[in-house]
Amino acid sequence: MEMRQDRTFKIMLWLGGISFFLLLLLIFILLFKESLYSINAFGIKFITGKVWDPVNEKFGLFPFFVGTILTSFISLFISLPFSLSLALLLSVYYKEGFINKVLSTTTELLAGIPSVIYGFWGLFFLVPLIRKVEIKLRIPPYGVGILTASLILAIMIIPYISSISKEVIKMVPQDLIEAGLSLGSTTWEVVKKVILPYCRSGIFAGILLGFGRAFGETMAVTMVIGNSNFVPENIFSPANTMASVIANEFTEATKDIHLSALIQIGLWLFVLSVIVNLIGSFIVKRYKIR
């Protein structure tokens, strides 16, 4: 009886695992199949093309690719110092107590806010703020653009990076930390020389998760990026991202070629996130302390 249950349990686990893999494979196949029409029609020009004109059926995703890459990297860059400080504060300096409670609850709440709320907050708070900066800098005061979108994204991904980093830092063996302290190092030196080197692959995994979130975010970005289909000139320019073009145009795409072009963007988004994850897991492995 026991043996039989054991086997059923194992089969169930397998089923769960395999169906997940199959699902991913099927999504890829479907995306590929549905984009074939536009792949055949445009070929490589789809990636290098700078014009997105649904009326005259010209489709090129280059401006959106630039928009996606810029917003996700800039947001990562902005959020990293904040996320790491938060993680260190909660795992090294204030492991428990009132400050820990307040800070960890607020970051958790940050993760629970729907992205459309972030978008609205950005539209009514960040946009006027950025506008003032732009007026001072004497550039067209749109208020929306790459920088505004990146700021929103940065706030959105802080909980992801910080909570994973926090858990990883907590796993640093107490012996190592105490050894460092007993050798006379300050807390800062322990962080720099013991904790961060020990955790770097784990922290990197957290960064990867944050990047993935920034990469695929649609709603909040769409509301503050300006949705302009041109290659952005600087970080204040209005632009568009791959995910937000799909979200914007999918529901009303009546022409087959338009729909297929949008699905092809989805395909590339899929491929890009696979590539990012592969590079990520390579780096995680490479810098793991054995």
Residues that bind another protein (CB under 8 A): 51-56, 58, 120, 123-124, 127-128, 131, 140-144, 222-223, 226-229, 238, 240, 244, 247-254, 258
Q: Are 81 and 95 in contact (CB under 8 A)?
A: no
Q: Which is nearer to another protein, 11 or 51 (CB)?
A: 51
End-to-end CA distance of the chain: 41
Q: Which is nearer to another protein, 34 or 249 (CB)?
A: 249
* Tokens found for residue 263: 């699905």
Min dist CB 198 to another protein, Å, is: 44
Contact residues for 143 (Cβ-Cβ < 8 A; gap 6+): 126, 127, 128, 129, 130, 131, 134
Element (H, E) at 52: strand 52-53
Q: Which is nearer to another protein, 82 or 142 (CB)?
A: 142
β-pair type (52-53, 58-59) = antiparallel
Element (H, E) at 53: strand 52-53
Min dist CB 45 to another protein, Å, is: 16
Rounded distance, CA 198 to CA 200, Å? 6
Rounded distance, CA 244 to CA 152, Å? 14
Q: Which is nearer to another protein, 231 or 253 (CB)?
A: 253
Min dist CB 95 to another protein, Å, is: 43
Min dist CB 212 to another protein, Å, is: 23
Min dist CB 147 to another protein, Å, is: 14
